[in-house]
């Protein structure tokens, strides 16, 4: 069974940083592209970032470009999202998504003073 | 960015009756390899989204056959042949032919 477990969410101050992690199991992590998708409270879905199997190809949404960094460690079956210069509008549940098929349960990030 | 427009934004359906959701994209989702990159997701209350349909009409693993997808180019439809109580939630279409992948606004389905 595919499992994606996000962690690292919480309360951060505007301008602060958080690092999200996603632990993958139940499939060969190194064979799959990965994404982060977020959902602000009561709102729709917004794609955040993509990373290729090897990590050599990376894309970001314009709204996070220059502030967020996606990475992966295939040896540890893990995906990461380093979020710097956080803004109130970054408040959302962040989902780790395998390719665009299987989704984790999400981790809530709240940016507030 | 490609804009995805869903209609209706909400619908109320009697169990056992059909339901249909439309999704229109601002650009063609047809790839040069012949595939069309349009997915449908259902987000049940309090849960993450789950993939229902990929590449327009392919049901994902475990998805009941009462769900079907159709369409081409820029116009797509998700149909539920007989709505059940467990189908309640918000349905999203999404394109992933162009970066950034973009989602429709969502269609909320409730049971009468």
Contact call for residues A111 and A91 (beta carbons, < 8 A): yes
pLDDT digits (tens, 9 = 90+) for A27-51: 999 999 999 999 999 999 999 999 9
Tokens 């992948």, residue? B101
What is d(CA A16, CA A12) in angstroms, rounded to the nearest whole number? 6
pLDDT tens string, chain B, 112 residues long: the values are 999 999 999 999 999 999 999 999 999 999 999 999 999 999 999 999 999 999 999 999 999 999 999 999 999 999 999 999 999 999 999 999 999 999 999 999 999 9
CB contact under 8 A, A101 and B96: no
User: Which candidate from B39, B105, B106 shows the least CB-CB separation from A100?
Assistant: B39
Q: pLDDT tens string for chain A (113 positions)?
A: 999 999 999 999 999 999 999 999 999 999 999 999 999 999 999 999 999 999 999 999 999 999 999 999 999 999 999 999 999 999 999 999 999 999 999 999 999 99
Q: How many Å apart are CA B91 and CA B58, to the nearest integer?
A: 16
> From edge to edge, which strands make up the β-sheet containing B4-7?
B4-7, B19-25, B75-80, B67-72
**How many cross-chain Cβ pairs, A to B, lie less than 8 Å apart?**
43
Positive or negative CA dihedral for B68, B110, B106, A53? Answer: negative
State the Cα–Cα distance between residues A43 and A55, nearest whole angstrom: 30
């Amino acid at each position: 069974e595919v499992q994606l477990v996000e962690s690292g969410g919480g309360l951060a101050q505007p301008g602060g940083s958080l690092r999200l992690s996603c632990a993958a199991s139940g499939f060969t992590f190194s064979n799959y592209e990965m994404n982060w998708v977020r959902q602000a409270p009561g709102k729709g879905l917004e794609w955040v970032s993509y990373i290729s199997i090897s990590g050599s190809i990376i894309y970001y949404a314009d709204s996070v470009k220059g502030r967020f960094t996606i990475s992966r460690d295939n040896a540890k079956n893990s995906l990461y999202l380093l979020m710097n210069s956080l803004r109130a509008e970054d408040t959302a549940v962040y989902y780790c998504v395998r390719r665009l098929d299987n989704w984790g349960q999400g981790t809530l990030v709240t940016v507030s003073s | 960015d490609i804009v995805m427009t869903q209609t209706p934004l909400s619908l109320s359906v009697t169990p056992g009756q059909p339901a249909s959701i439309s999704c229109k994209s601002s650009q063609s989702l047809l790839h040069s390899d012949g595939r069309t990159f349009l997915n449908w997701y259902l987000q049940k209350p309090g849960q993450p989204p789950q993939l229902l349909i990929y590449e327009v009409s392919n049901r994902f693993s475990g998805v009941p056959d009462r769900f079907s997808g159709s369409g081409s180019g820029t116009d797509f439809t998700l149909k539920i042949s007989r709505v059940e109580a467990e189908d309640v939630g918000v349905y999203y279409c999404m394109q992933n032919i162009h970066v950034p992948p973009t989602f429709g606004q969502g269609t909320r389905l409730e049971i009468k």
